[in-house]
Amino acid sequence: MSNTGDPNSLEVGGPYVVSLNDPAATDRALVGGKGANLARLVGAGLPVPDGFCVTTVAYWELVDDESVDELLDDLSDLDPAAIDRVADVGSFLRARIADLDVPTPVREAIEGALADRETEDGSETAYAVRSSATAEDLPDASFAGQQETFLNVRGIEEIVDSVRACMASLFTDRAISYRAKNGIPHDDVALSVVVQRMVTPTVSGILFTADPTSGNRRVTAIEAGIGLGEAFVSGEAAADAVRFDTRTGEIIDYETGDQRTAVRPRSEGGVETVELSTTERSVRVLTDEQVRTLVEIGVEIEALFGHPQDVEWCLEDGAIQIVQSRPITSLFPVPTPEPTDDRLHVYYSLGHAQAFAEALPPLVRDVWMSYTETTFEAFGFGDRGPWAVEAGGRVYMDATNLLRTGVLRNLVPKQLAATSEPMGAAMETILERRSEEFRPDRSVAETLAATPALARGTWRGLTTSRPLLSAMTDGLLGAFVGVPTPSREEAKWTAWGRDIASQVREQETPAERVRTVFDLLDVAIDFPPAGPLLAALTAGEVLEGMFPDAPENVNAVGRGFPKEVVTRINLGLGDLADIARDNPSVAAALREGASLDAIESLEGGEDFRAELNRFLDEFGHRATGEIDVSRPRWREDPSVLLATIRANLDHSETGEHRKHVEQMEQEALTAAERLDQRAGRGFFGPLRRRLTRRLIRTYRGYIQTREYPKQGAAHMFAAWRDAFRDAGDVLVAEGYLNDPTDVWFLRINELLAALDGKSIDVDVAARRAEFERHKLMDAPPVLTSEGEAPTGNSDREDVPEGALVGTGVSGGVVEGVARVIRDPTEETIEKGEILVAPSSDPGWTPLFLNAAGMVVEVGGRMSHGALVAREYGIPAVVSVPKATHIIETGQRIRIDGTRGLVQVLDE
């Protein structure tokens, strides 16, 4: 962040005081965020109480003290995690500043500003004195309530003291912590103080120009109460709550608060809390007309700043006064590009569908947006796009046109729910609440007339691009009647992925390789037939339907596959741990974090390195979060693998990993026998038994192929990554970029232009900073064009107080110590701990080996983590929002994989 408080950024000898109607008062470096915003409101002609700002020049004059400098240095050197020490230094700083004398020139400037505002009758004017830091009220950091405010202050001495106290409050514990969290250096900020005529309101409140709860940009939310707003801002009183639909111009709802007390100014200065009468408590504090006036002002303020705003207002003598406006920083961004048809659009997250909801850098987003557009174009829907948008660093798919098609309207939520229950539930919610928005675009007659063209387009898509047709037909019937051939399935997917990768890699120059990536994305990818895997999924569903009272047996049938990709990964890592175990010097070097070259030089090191190379030959193209091709593949950075091997050394025995798979395989065969016996009962027993055996054979034969498509596709992802990395190296050599990793922050048109030798004007640092902000956001699974993030209606009555609710995907109950891991390349899990993770794509596989249970923020019954958990027989709950934020490493938790519940047992 730029230096917003350094006195060198201001004119030497600059003003100590500026009026809010002075154009200089819009300079954030001079008057801080609050002051600058108020000055812009004044300049726009909006109703703001008269006042002035004591500037940051005055602040720097005040704190120009050697002891303050020393304490600031101490604060900057402290680890933010050392909470007690940070609090002590902050306390010392506040006390030291509060003891400093306000420089005479500053005091005289304040006196002059007050003299200009003296009343004609000579009575003392009351003022509100508010802090205004240079780093507050930013679009991405509000600092709301971090510094001091003093109300109803009278007299020069009291006002000067309040100004100094505000400046000292730049170092409250909350402000220090907030700056540390947002990466803002303490010596880069300064504090101005806003001094305004004190408003004595009958009613005051807060107006949000976008609904802060749902994120809807077309809903204005208002909180209003009697007296000053401090009572309900602090939570001491219940305010009236209003929601207003700016589309229709109507009040959605008005809830009257039970406000028992109010804060009011005292005649002698300061404020007091008073009891309200029974009548005052039950009466609406705003009329419909006042609500509409507030909304109109809010719309004007949002247009002025260009962002949704959190506005503080007062109603005095029937007139509205604005006392503060700042951005709402908690909103998830609105999808872009915006729709051109002025209708509600609904999007679902590509990341949630892939159980990977983390932010992607710009170039990676372009890859997946291109892929999405091409896929829909292949099925004759290209003229109804765009089908992919971006928001908060994620890619979202536009489901609107599908939802406006009668036969698909009810199918889409169900299909999404199979991937992620919260995604399907959120889609159902928006369909129920806004059903009129999804009426078919065409009349019945138009639909009938268009049917031949639609059929031709669909058939053209199916015949020129085979993915859907193959998945539904090729090999489907044969999987039920023939002998399972899982090895053949793996071979075809591996050959497919390597073929696409070779088409990229065979190009001579980095520029040609990059163009080939996007040339291949411009035509629908021709997937191998996926019928056998679909047959396995179908067989599993039929078995569940046939044996609804024995789900544990159906689940167990799908375990114990030595040739399954995930199992082979874990077996390979276990074998590497066994080699290290047999060679103590290798084991010791691994525990010390030695390099692979150093390990290879030790006794047994060559065997270890050779086995690792064999592992990487087969799986080195995989990665954690592998759809984000900016992330290194295991071949480039095997640190996550070595961390898992280290953990296995300390918590497993030789051969234990293979014994576990053998045990799972035996349990599967036993479960199959139980189902066979159940099926044989009754008159139709012989027929049911034959059907059951056929279903089990198909299920076990092909469910183990579920990861083969991703194993093949990962070859393609690795080739994409190599092409972009090579391009980054070239652009650094030619002076277009400073660092090879900057390439991930270019858009595709910028990358191609640079590779063509054209200059590009890109602020990579700003894009990196935006990406870091996006990484911290929790992305909603469903998002509308109005910015709303709908959620499903939860009417469960079996949820214990405080429990987190998700989707149970692997049955059983387990208690254990939580291990929260956000990046498996930097952290690992100990034997018997419960893994708490943001996602669970195949790159997380090494961590599953030691986990006693699993909690994941995204995913569904068919997501990778769910499948692995069921195969390994560990309880798992997915789609648990904010799990990695709510649960802390070291806490004891209980997870119920059957009911989908997670409980923290110790706080």
Q: Return the active site residues.
A: 864
Q: Do 383 and 533 contact (CB within 8 A), yes or no?
A: no
Torsion angles phi and psi, residue 313, rounded to 5: -140, 160
Torsion angles phi and psi, residue 228, rounded to 5: -75, 155
Residue that is written with structure tokens 């929790």 in the block: 778
β-strand pairing of 309-316 with 319-327: antiparallel
Distances (CA, A) of 675 to 484, 701, 857, 861: 20, 17, 33, 22
Q: Which of 327, 230, 297, 320 is nearest to 34 (CA)?
A: 327
- Count how many residues are written for the chain: 907
Residue that is written with structure tokens 């803002």 in the block: 184
Please list the residues that pair with 204 across neighbouring strands.
225, 314
Other beta carbons within 10 angstroms of residue 67's beta carbon come to 14
The DSSP symbol for 852 reads S
Run of H or E including 261:
strand 261-265
From CA 620, how far away is CA 640, in angstroms rounded? Answer: 12
From CA 87, how far away is CA 272, in angstroms rounded? Answer: 30
Run of H or E including 271:
strand 271-275
Q: Which of 148, 146, 149 is nearest to 175 (CA)?
A: 146
Distances (CA, A) of 500 to 495, 496, 514, 623, 712: 9, 7, 13, 18, 10
Distances (CA, A) of 688 to 241, 553, 672, 680: 61, 16, 14, 6
Q: Is 878 helix (H, G, I), strand (E, B) or coil?
A: strand
Torsion angles phi and psi, residue 588, rounded to 5: -65, -40
Q: Which residues contact 763 (CB under 8 A, 6 or more apart)?
A: none
Q: Do 790 and 784 contact (CB within 8 A), yes or no?
A: yes
β-strand pairing of 782-784 with 51-54: unpaired
Three-state SS for 704-768 is HHCCHHHHHHHHHHHHHHHHHHHHHHHHHHCCCCCCHHHHHHCCHHHHHHHHCCCCCCCCHHHHH
In Å, how far from its chain's centre is CA 194? 35
β-strand pairing of 876-878 with 853-856: parallel
Q: State the amino acid at position 515 in one-letter form.
A: R
Distances (CA, A) of 273 to 280, 283, 309: 15, 19, 29
Q: Do 574 and 580 contact (CB within 8 A), yes or no?
A: no
Torsion angles phi and psi, residue 816, rounded to 5: 180, 180
Q: Which of 165, 158, 53, 57 is nearest to 105 (CA)?
A: 57
From CA 85, how far away is CA 78, in angstroms rounded? Answer: 8
From CA 531, how far away is CA 537, in angstroms rounded? Answer: 10
Q: Do 213 and 221 contact (CB within 8 A), yes or no?
A: yes
Kindly compute the dihedral angle of the four CA atoms of residues 71, 72, 78, 79, in this order, to the nearest 10 degrees.
Answer: 140
The DSSP symbol for 119 reads -
